[in-house]
Amino acid sequence: ARQALATARATEPALRNGLRYIVYNLHEKASTIQEAREVVKSFAEEYIHLLKESKRKVIQYGAHRIKKGSTIMTHCHSSLSTGIILEAHKQGKEIQVFCTETRPRYQGRITAKELVEAGIPTTQVVDSAMRWVINRHDVDIIITGADSITSQGTVINKIGTRLLALAAREMDIPFYSAINLLKYDPETSIGKLSEIEMRESKEIWENPPKGLNFLNPAFETVSHELIDGIISEAGVFSPAVVYLIVKQEYPFMIMNDEMI
């Protein structure tokens, strides 16, 4: 059961880290089966609290990065990047947002809906218009979420995120990834490569002509060189130091011989 849960989604390590957290504390706290049951329940609840509290901190730190009058761009839908923008708005900062539609599942529409309902001036654009928008509409800052982060500071996020980061670098616009460090992938510190989920062709074209082939990667990597800062519950820092920050904040996620 543990193995099934741990491999439920290759690009999302938060669940696996939850299991690590429980096992780590089982080793430390439990000496009988009954104690183990109580520890599992207790630390599962504690881990859920950690997730909620870390989200609150990420949003607060991220909102501080947004200045009054900023034009923001984002991609896909992330509760963290959207939460940061909403918090900046609650703080009374006048902002406007450009968000991509995020094909093929159109998750950007969720972002657009939440921002518009909050009263934030929001414009949705097709994914291929990313660079055009940055250039023509004086974007000040780009903030996206991330599904996971490696020991080298590379993040994995929705396909198209790297294109946005490349456009940001070309136009000299700061690019930030907002992520809960409980999404850190410990196995990348021993050489494991992050898997990219491939999805069904019908997401792209439900009734295509016979013989047409499709590639539908759901995610891609964004190299640490393209990221100006990681917005996390531990503050905002360079992706180059993510391993050291994780080691300090969450020692149970650091690989040891028992975890290999």
Name the one residue in this structure whose structure tokens are 């993510």.
Answer: 242
The tokens for 140 are 């000040």
How many angstroms separate the CA atoms of 86 and 108, rounded? Answer: 15
Answer yes or no: 99 catalytic: no
How many angstroms separate the CA atoms of 249 and 131, rounded? Answer: 36
How many angstroms separate the CA atoms of 205 and 237, rounded? Answer: 40
* Helix H or strand E segment including 164: helix 161-171
Name the one residue in this structure whose structure tokens are 């207790």.
Answer: 42
How many angstroms separate the CA atoms of 172 and 225, rounded? Answer: 13
Contacts of 93 (CB under 8 A, 6+ apart): 66, 67, 68, 69, 70
How many angstroms separate the CA atoms of 76 and 163, rounded? Answer: 13
Amino acid code (one letter) for 93: K
How many angstroms separate the CA atoms of 226 and 168, rounded? Answer: 8
Answer yes or no: 76 catalytic: yes
Q: Which of 127, 147, 185, 228 is catalytic?
A: 147
Q: Which of 76, 99, 127, 228 is catalytic?
A: 76
How many angstroms separate the CA atoms of 106 and 108, rounded? Answer: 5
Catalytic residue ranges: 76, 147
